[in-house]
Amino acid sequence: MSIHSGRFAAVTGAGSGNGKAIAETLLEEGAGVALLDINLGSLTEITEKYPRAIAIEANVADEGSTRSAAEQIRKAFGRLDLLVNNAGIVKGATFEELSREEWDQVFAVNSTGPFLMSQAVTGLLRDGVAARGEGATSAIVNITSVEAHIVISSSGHPQIHYNASKGALLQLTRALAVECAGSKIRVNAVAPGFIETPFTRGVLGSPEVVDWLLERTPMGRVGQPEDVANAVSFLGGEKASWVTGATLFVDGGWTVY
């Protein structure tokens, strides 16, 4: 039996890059998966391939939208065992040029979004624990970044708002882990380094950047979305039933080098 068989997950930002790989991995491993994205059309490729996937148009930065998504998940699955807060955006402006509007936009998606989504589905995650009985846990996995811990301008331009928003998500993870432990909901983070997705395609198009990157990556290669997905699969399942408040770095050794 696959490790996520009979379980239900929701993945935000499932239409591209890391979110798409996370959703497909969970589906391959047996879960029913609610795919959430602001771009509904981006989800068609997965729903056409996997009958256990449902597509929901949702903006994680909008409370009404997260509540409506939770309701649609309740109707489709009746409960949830795993929420993956993956949707995130990056923008670039130097500190002195950074507008209040852009600061707010990045925080709204990267930090407030995971708060709103987690709050909207907490009842469903509790229902997941109840449905699976004695010893069961549900899980939230937040996709932070090495940029929550160190500052490397991984997108190739200054991004203090990205750093700060991911730092906030890291502490949200740790604080929620404590508050939700009594409900048997574990809350962990996956912190990716450079992963080859549409998010980083521009930067990775430059051979100089790739050389610079590989020099600093002990494992000697750029990360793939599947590397992130496999870490989420572990933290989201019962093999991690005593792991909460933790960050799993998926960076080829970047942060320890």
Ligand X SMILES: NC(=O)c1ccc[n+]([C@@H]2O[C@H](COP(=O)([O-])OP(=O)(O)OC[C@H]3O[C@@H](n4cnc5c(N)ncnc54)[C@H](O)[C@@H]3O)[C@@H](O)[C@H]2O)c1
Which residues bind to ligand X, rule: CB under 6 A?
12-13, 15-19, 37-39, 42, 58-61, 86-89, 109, 113, 143, 145, 192, 194-195, 197-200
Around Cβ 216, how many Cβ atoms within 10 Å? 16
162 is catalytic: yes
Beta bridge partners of 12: 36
What the block records as the tokens of 126 is 């509790």
Residue 109 and residue 172 in contact, taking contact as beta carbons nearer than 8 Å: no
**Which residue, 3 or 152, has its beta carbon nearer to ligand X?**
152
Query: For residue 33, which of 48, 49, 11, 13 has the smallest C-alpha distance?
Result: 11
DSSP summary character for residue 30: T
> Would you say 122 or 200 has its CB closer to ligand X?
200
C-alpha radius of gyration, the chain, whole number: 17
Nearer to ligand X, 80 or 129 (CB): 80
Nearest one of 175, 187, 172, 179 to 137, comparing CA atoms: 187
Let me know: does 227 contact 234? Beta carbons within 8 Å.
no
Q: How far is the CB of 244 from ligand X (least distance, A)?
A: 20
Q: Please, which residue, 42 or 183, has the CB nearer to ligand X?
A: 42
DSSP notation for 181-208: GGGTEEEEEEEE-SB-STTTHHHHT-HH
For residues 86 and 122, which CB has a smaller minimum distance to ligand X in the complex?
A: 86
CB of 83 to ligand X, least distance (A): 13
d(CA 130, CA 124): 10
How far apart are CB 122 and ligand X at their closest, in Å? 19
Minimum CB separation from ligand X for residue 167, in Å?
12
The arrangement of strands across the sheet holding 8-12 comes to 53-57, 32-37, 8-12, 82-85, 138-143, 185-192, 247-250
**Exactly one of 107, 162, 194, 249 is catalytic; which is it?**
162
User: Taking the complex as a whole, how short is the minimal distance between the CB of residue 172 and ligand X, in angstroms?
Assistant: 13
Residues annotated as catalytic are: 162
